[in-house]
Amino acid sequence: MRTEASGTPAPIARSRIAPPGAPSPAIIGHRGASGYRPEHTTAAYELAFALGADAVEPDIVATRDGVLVLRHDAEISTTTDVAARPEFAALRTTKEIDGAVLDGWFTEDFTWRQLETLRCVERLDALRPLSATFDGRSGILRLRDLLALVSAASDRHGRGLGIVAELKHATYFASLGLPLDELFLVELAEAGWDRGAPLAVESFEQDVLLSLAARGLDADLIYLVEAHGAPADRVARSGAMASAYDDDVTDAGLLELAAAGLTGISVDLSRMLRTTGEGALAATDIARRAAAAGLQTYCWTLRPENEFLPPSARLGAVPGAPGDWRRIFEPVMRSGVAAVFADHPDLAASVREAATGE
């Protein structure tokens, strides 16, 4: 297998969610099968596994009373019916989280008993109206609910299914006395997921991952790398002098990540693809360079709609219509990545089979 960017082999580093003998790259249902059902719902997660996902990705935030729940973000007005619930109107507020000013309702202002009364809705309803027809059918899940769901799904499907858990806004939650790493470890221990189950933990902040490494967590520790900017934990320490994500994906930066004890990086799709001189899309050399440093590479997020595709891969002018998504999926599958995130796991699985024979 070769990357078109370099012409040199790009070995695939195996992960705990894609053990030897399993198809590779692993397919991670991004917040479940979030292209078909409202994200982070029971239906989305169960459908992801039915469509061939090897693992699912929950975004993890905390309630006021320290319960870990699954939401895209701490602010929940776009993913629940909270704005239509008059009993919670007084909880609307404005906050700054990781440099962004947000207005709405935030999980850390609710107890779990309050939060569990809300119903989930489709976040991208304009792009995914069919998914929006499932609005209101599901309540918010806790991390412990997903751990039980995945264990049951593994038994039902006859294979070891995994979780790629994203800890969101770790520095921010720690400042509120809600340390996500400590709460996460307690949940895993109580569910028995700290004993070799297929597990990866990811974050846009290294500090929380290194804390988990120091505590001996048996999981892949994956550093999420944005297309731009700098991580919130470094900004909290160094302000405008904080080094950028770009520094982390230089050859020297990758070696530093591996030496610190991290096992992989997860990069934005824009870092994975480049345009060739002939106008075709090809993989960059990032997976090869990460492998040379001893790191796995994940890529996020494969989506078929025009809205999420580069202009050259769009078909027509309707943002929610499918574009030429195979032009995007195929070079990523051949790039040497260990795993890909997909909103539609069945589409990713079909391209994996065609591209790699697995």
Catalytic residues: 30, 72
Query: How far is residue 248's CA from residue 231's CA, in Å, rounded to a whole number?
Result: 10
The token duo for 173 is: 């939650």
3-class DSSP assignment, residue 9: strand
Closest CA to 49 of 76, 69, 28, 70: 28
Contact 275, 315 (CB under 8 A): no
What DSSP string runs through 76-125? -TTTBSGGG-GGGGGG-EEEEETTEEEEE-BGGGS-HHHHTT-BB--TTT
Query: How far is residue 345's CA from residue 350's CA, in Å, rounded to a whole number?
Result: 9
Query: How far is residue 180's CA from residue 102's CA, in Å, rounded to a whole number?
Result: 21
- Residue 310, preceding bond cis, omega within 30 degrees? no
Q: What are phi and psi of 216, to 5 degrees?
A: 80, 25
Query: How far is residue 315's CA from residue 305's CA, in Å, rounded to a whole number?
Result: 9
Work out the burial of residue 96: count CB atoms within 10 Å of its CB; fewer than 13 is exposed, 13-18 middle, 19 or more buried: exposed
Q: What are phi and psi of 68, to 5 degrees?
A: -85, 125
Place of tokens 């870990």: 68
The token duo for 72 is: 């895209």
Contact 25, 349 (CB under 8 A): no
The token duo for 123 is: 């976040």
Contact 27, 337 (CB under 8 A): no
- Residue 301, preceding bond cis, omega within 30 degrees? yes
CA-to-CA dists, residue 142 to 149, 177, 286, angstroms: 11, 19, 35
